[in-house]
Amino acid sequence: MGDIARELGISPARLRQLADAGVIPSERSPGGHRVFDPGQVRSALARRASSEDIVVPRWERPDWFATLPLAGLEEDQVWREYVVDRLPKMSQDATTIANYAFTEMLNNAIDHSGADEVAIGLWSGAFEVRFETRDWGAGALPHVQERLGLEDLYDALGELVKGKTTTDPSRHTGEGIFFTSKAVDVFTLESGGLRWTVDNLRDDQAVGGSEITHGTRVRWEIDPAGTRTLSEVFHAYYTDDDYRFDRTKTVVHLFGIGVRFISRSEAKRLMRGLERFREVELDFTGVEDVGQGFVDEVFRVWPRDHPETVLTPTGMNGPVEFMVRRGLPTPSPGDRRID
């Protein structure tokens, strides 16, 4: 999706709209992802444009771009002085989310990148607003990997996906990237040659390759007329009794190669650090099969060692649910570790 959108010079959201409307052809991969033939897409757009005068938005150049030194930079000042007056007419909810996402991502570059400068881009349209921050520092994923002593960049990405991950706990809560990725429509973080995309319009996530091998590039998009509120985003992950970030949702297929999870090592990678939450949803959407060792580690061994955390498996197909239910321990009276 992202590759073909960049090649055509349109946004992923616009590409989805055109595909949903049948303007451009697409197919589904065995894993359920939408795939396109670039030649067929260009031909379809050309025919449509010539026959009905449809104008496809172009995103080749930002409407505003600046490279700013990071020394002494303050994210809220950049928002007020450079960004807010360049935005189109937006709902209050969309403006609040845009403000939150922009200042959080710029603050990450200021506090964590170790770079000398940051490049900022803004695309302002009637139906979509896109932001980008780009630095040439240590790189978000290599930085997390090094500071937390993780095995590889995939483990570092896994920690970011879970939430509450920070390399400087005395100054940061580890919530910025996590909640920004949930608040905007489409969020992409690229670092260390990996690309993590969160598509909240489709409730989907994906990991792929990226040309960004040095530093970090973060892009996010939002509908200027959007009605999603920041409080709704936070409420979905905060417990009702004490308003703490104690819930998370982990997408299982991001933690392995392919759609089958068999080994205990895959299970340990998935469950690492989840004890910092009281409620964890394990989303098995897109996973075709799981092994006995994987299930035993996730649903017997890990809950035994962390009885304070409730696990809730969701999105299971028939074979996965069979293996999970088969591997669940016989509950003791009052035991609520697994729902």
Tokens 């400087």 belong to residue: 168
List, for residues 71-110, the tens digit of each pLDDT value: 999 999 999 999 999 999 999 999 999 999 999 999 999 9
- Helices 140-148 and 92-112 pack at an angle, to 10 degrees, of 60
Shortest CA distance to 207 belongs to which of 282, 257, 140, 241? Answer: 257
List, for residues 40-79, the tens digit of each pLDDT value: 776 666 555 444 444 344 446 888 999 999 999 999 999 9
Give residue 203's region: left, alpha or beta (phi > 0; psi -120 to 50).
left
Strands 279-283 and 310-314: parallel
**Sign for the pseudo-dihedral over CA of 93, 97, 103, 106:** negative
Contact 194, 157 (CB under 8 A): yes
Residue 317: per-residue pLDDT: 93
Helix, strand, or coil (residue 276)? helix
Q: Which amino acid would we find at residue 182?
A: K
Q: What is the pTM of this model?
A: 0.73
Mean pLDDT, the chain, integer: 83
